[in-house]
Chains A and B, each alone.
Chain A
Amino acid sequence: MKQMLEYVHGDSVIHRLNPLVKLLWAFLTCIACFISSNHLFLLGVLLSTVVVAASGSVLARAKGVYKALFILGFLLMLFQLLFTPYGRVYFYILPGVPVTDQGLSFSLLLMLRMMAALSPLSLMLMLTPMNELLTAMTHTLRIPYRYAFVVVTALRFIPTFSREMDQIMQAQRSRGHETDTRNPFKKVKVILPMCIPLLISSVRRIETMAISLETRGFNTGPRSCRKKLGFTRFDALAIIIVMAVLLLSIIIG
């Protein structure tokens, strides 16, 4: 879980793309998935993200993401399936709770959409150095540095937060607290009381981070920037593909 959204260093074509292109890809793909209600289209998009993950050689990490999204999507699908009473009834799961063709089709769509729309976001985070994203936001998009920094740091806090949680759980289980139980109900019972220490320690982390930022001259004047971000043929190609996908989603609906 903790590694799901963290940048993985590499030198693939995807890594070398302009970060804004990757950002555009993540957002437009997400939008396209919500525009389209075509099972095949969504499946296609999902497969294309797998191709991206593979060419960025983060497939092993991405597996975790797909798995998590699948579980989430599956729960959503079940829910939807059970509460769609219209359409042709296949059979009754429980007395009065039918499984229908429309229910099946719609819930499947929901699951596919969920997976196809969210996986590009996490892939983008895995394949883009935060620093480049920051540079792109400040230099190309002209977002003031401090706001851009807040956004990027917020993204970064998701993995940090889960790492923190992992640490506390490790500390607790090494002193005999059963945070490593397999029983999901027990697990929830053990983890819930942890939320408060977790919150407190995260607030602390933000405080110490503020100290570190200030003592290293954050936001004290004009900034230089280490990397020049280029725009290559690959970037152009990527944009064209993304646009085409968006267009396709509008056409086929």
Chain B
Amino acid sequence: MSEDVVRMQVNPETCIAGGQCELLAPDVFEIDDDEVIAVVQGDGRLDRKVALEVIDRCPSGAISIVEPDEAAGGG
């Protein structure tokens, strides 16, 4: 994975489903209408700059970057 691309995750315990993330990065985040939380689409890859912006805008602090060791085997 290139330096500038990171993978995103959403904490289902704290997400309040406001959809700020979907607005900023619709390819990666979508509000699941049944579960009513944001879910990551596909492999959740996002440009680091956009990722930091989304993390900052998420009101509940539910979004984070998957650290390389957590992602072992995934990327």
A, B bound: no
